Structure 1
Amino acid sequence: MDQFDSESYWNRSSSRGFSFDDDDDAPSASGSVGSNLNVCNILNDYDTISEASFDNSTTGSALNLSIKSVISNEALKMLLQEQTLDDRILSKGVAPEEELRLLRRQIQTTFYNPSPEATAHKLLLGKCVSLEVFKSLHEKEQLLDAVLKCGGGDAVIGVLLFLKKTLNKTNYHNVLEQRPQALQHYVSYLQQCQPQEAIEVLQNFGKHQEAALMQFKVAMACNDLQQRKRKLQQLIDQYSGVGMVSVYLQQFEAAFKLLDLVEKEHTALDNQIHLNSTPIELLYQCCRKHTNWKEQDITRTISPFRLSADLQIAPAQFEWTALNERANAQAYADLENVFERVPAWNPMKQKQFHISFSLELAILRLYALQAPTTVLYMFLSKMNNTMEKFELAQRVKCVRAVIDALAGMKDVTQLTQLKETLAQRSEEQFYCENALKALQTKRWSTDNIKLKL
């Protein structure tokens, strides 16, 4: 065919080019574009057409590709459904033909029922989707399951709000009860915008512990002291007889007592505490104001010993707070009284040193706060393991404790070497010499006993 014949062929009216808008000129008999969509026919047509042909010089054969080898039936169906929907909004100045085409597709979107998977995909992409086409309870459940499977948080909330608006309360609760993940999304959403409704939902589903904790959070968010106390009291009264949340009642009661102390002792503590003060912060201020550490007075309201008992502060927390406050205040003489306890099994016995956390942790903390070596030595002398005492004493540079540890291990060689490094006529040197003499005396006595035997 020559060039002229080729051009005349393409200019003939019988050889029209393909256009996506041909449906504007020849609408279907049913009036719905989606109704004539037949995926199976499309697939069969594509199977009979060679998509690509390649001349192979070696084999000399043509390679025919089927569309089924490129995309699955399900994916193609979803793609075609997606293409039948159009999200564009009519703009001003649009041509009548374009307006007619867009209006047809908008009507099709209204009456055509897309698959839940395609709708979920569009929601995840942030597209505007009309959910009113899902009318039955089964269709709505399928849509929710499809969105949950995709894992989109905002999309799940959007579908849940649609279900809440279009279903009665019983059916909506049944949907949530059968899908714990959806319930979790819904409660998280309500917690941000409607906390009271979130509490009611949790109570309706029997989740009393979560509801109690959320009520506690709402109460503690109140900026007015009296309002916060009132909400806490209501919370305590509501759950006093419920065994499922009894584990939290102590926390609620302690928070109420803390507010009482803040209200009563605000002035006594030099206005150093405020409405949102924690029990440890209040304990620190009580330690700062406490003067007589020799007596564990529990009659005074701001006594740290009474406060710890009222707010059920653990012994380790009390001791750690008192250690830090007394060390920061350089009131090192009170530290021994902080850690002295009367044995519970024998109240008539004298006080004994007791610490509820690691001695090593206490010594390292005091060293970091630049406590004197005499204070470090007092705590190091309480350690029973000689090797651990020796290593820790070296870390905190407490020479006297190092000497005690070497004497305990009867290491004369290291003691002699240590003595040579100490300043002449210093207190540490005299202490090291005495330790060496004590070891030599014990060794001489032991040797004499062996000779007599």
Structure 2
Amino acid sequence: MDDDDYWNTSETKAKAFSFDDDVLSPQEILAIGQKPYSGSGEEGILNSSISNIKPALVPISSLVSSKVLDLLVLAQSGKDLKETKSEPEETVAITLKRLVLGRSCSLHVHRSLKSKTELLDGAVAIGDGNAILTVVLFLIQTLNKKLVYELLSSWPLALSHYIGNLQSEGKISELTDLLTMLGRSPDSAIYQFQHSIKNQGDNVDGLLRKTNNLLANHFNQPGVDAHQAKMIADYVKLLEWQSFAKKNELNNKSALECLAYCCKLHWSEGAGNMMSPLTVCQRQQISPLQYEWVVLNVQANLNKWDIVESLFTKKDWLGRTTLSSHIPVESLLARLSELRAGARLLATAVNTVTNTEERLRLAHKYKIHSVVIETLAKQKDRAALTNYKMTLNPQSEEYIYAENTLREPRTCIASQMLNL
């Protein structure tokens, strides 16, 4: 048989591939799966004669992918293929649920202003900070900023989260634009002031220039909170003083820390000197209570109790030593005890308490034995004084004083009062 005859025979045609149509019909694919897999050569003939052995079938999955099979089954069912490509509609509720659960979702399917507003409203109602911030940032990306700022003015919680985000990322220009557009210029100035302090470092002169500009351009304007304006003005004075002092250890320090520095190293300076503690108090309007508290801690830690006593005690017209302090007595006693002040100073402090029971309670609490003994003697409570004497170390000064008071109460009390 020549080549032309080979290609034209019907037997050959039946076995040839059809190049006109590369796609098999569903029936053809299913037929392929049902064909028996015969062995090769004589073994296949021998095996076919054994009636109790079923022929092996080729799995259809080895010939066609599962995706194609699904499409074939769907085609035979008569359903439209386009229906399978559509996904469930991404509603606002579904998006919010995914945001709260931390699942991936696309906010860009929400294109209308109504849908975006509902997203923000829903996130605020849920109260989830991450969801709120995600929605706000989405609105910033897809809407006019002015419109977003107007929306945020209706949702204070969302506005608060967005302000915090701008602060943490250092986007001060955007923050000031937002607050200015919302009519909150004083808040904008405060944020600028905080940002300057945080980022200026140890450059006192640079911080002084920026703060002066803020004071002139924002805090000295009508309508600005008077307390805020005074606070900034006082801070400018502190920066001016730090610039004069030229001490790196004083940069970025508070007024009280600067006062403590002067109490430690410039205590003897006169009031006219810039480094004098009194000058610092006057310039920064430090209250008498704050001044006394700083002096107490600095001088006591330096073990200069003579300075502490001269500050907190004075003599009355009878020559008795009395306490003179703006610090509440109990707070002063607690701190003096912590600093290990002498018994005489503690006794002077507690004796200023006029209520007898309260004075006795404080004297017991801080173990001011002389005051306990005197108070019990004045109450003529001999039994209580005897019991208290038994709690003291024998032959100690306090023990002897209690014993003498039991014998001659009036003489001992008068003598003790003169010593104070």
TM-score normalised over the length of structure 2:
0.69
Give deviations 1:3-34, integer Å, cap 9, x for gaps: xxxxxxxxxxxxxxxx9956994496593547
**Structure 1 match to 2:42:** none
Q: 2:188 aligns with which of 211, 219, 240?
A: 211
Corresponding residue for 1:183? Answer: 159
User: 1:229 — aligned with what?
Assistant: 208
Amino acid across the alignment from 1:308: C
Residue correspondence of structure 1 range 129-144 to structure 2 within 5 A = 129-144=105-120
Paired residues in the alignment total: 337
The superposition leaves residues 152-199 of structure 1 with CA deviations (integer Å, 9 ceiling, x where unpaired) of 323322322222222223322222122222212211111111123112
Counterpart amino acid of 1:281? Answer: E
1:70-113 Cα offsets, whole Å, 9 max, x none, are xxxxxxxxxxxxxx36xxxxxxxxxxxxxxxxxxxxxxxxxxx5
Residue 388 (structure 1) aligned with residue 358 (structure 2): yes
2:173 to 196, 202, 210: 196
Question: For the residues of structure 2 that align with 1:23 and 1:154, how far apart are their CA atoms?
Answer: 45
Helix, strand or coil: the match of 2:272?
Answer: coil
Partner of 2:288: 315
- In structure 1, what is the equivalent of residue 241 of structure 2? 261
Q: Is the 8 A contact 2:309 2:345 kept in 1?
A: no
For 1:362, which of 329, 332, 340 is the aligned residue? 332
Q: Does 1:371 align with 2:341?
A: yes
How has the CA–CA distance of structure 1 residues 441 and 146 changed in structure 2, closer, same or farther, with 3 Å as cutoff?
A: closer
Residue matched to 1:73: none
Q: Which runs of 5+ in 1 are unaligned?
A: 1-18, 36-83, 86-112, 342-350, 443-453
**% identical aligned pairs:** 28
Distance in 2 (alpha carbons) for counterparts of 1:147 and 1:419: 71
- After superposition, the Cα gap between the structure-2 partners of 1:171 and 1:395, relative to the gap in structure 1 and judged at 3 Å, is closer
Instruction: Summarize the alignment of residues 6-21 of structure 1 with structure 2, pairs less than 5 Å apart.
Output: none
Say if 1:287 and 1:304, in contact at 8 Å, map to a contact too.
yes
Conserved? CA contact 1:209–1:244, under 8 Å:
yes
What RMSD over aligned residues (CA atoms) do the two structures have, in Å?
Answer: 3.7
CA distance in 2, matches of 1:254, 1:239: 12
Task: Say which of 298, 304, 310 aligns to 1:337.
Answer: 310
1:115 is displaced (CA, Å) by 1.0
- 2:82 matched to 1:31? yes
Structure 1 327/428 Cα, relative in aligned 2: closer, same or farther at 3 Å? farther
| Pick aligned residue for 2:127 from 151, 161, 167 | 151
Q: Deviations over 1:263-310 (max 9, x none)?
A: 22245xxx6x332212222121121124449xxx53222222332232
Q: Which residue in the other structure is 2:221 paired with?
A: 241
Give the secondary-structure state (helix, strand or coil) at the position aligned to 2:345.
helix
2:215 maps to a residue whose letter is I
Q: Which residue of 1 aligns with 2:408?
A: 437
Q: Output one character per residue of 1:106-158: Cα deviation in whole Å (capped at 9) or x when no partner.
A: xxxxxxx5211111222333343333322221121122222333333233223
Q: Is the 8 A contact 2:347 2:368 kept in 1?
A: yes
Matched, 1:283 2:265: no
What is the alpha-carbon distance in structure 2 between the residues aligned to residue 144 and residue 23 of structure 1?
Answer: 45
> Equivalents in 1 of 2:137, 2:79: separation in Å?
37
| Cα pair 1:410 1:439 within 8 Å, conserved | no
Instruction: Indicate the structure (1 or 2) with the bigger Cα radius of gyration.
Output: 2
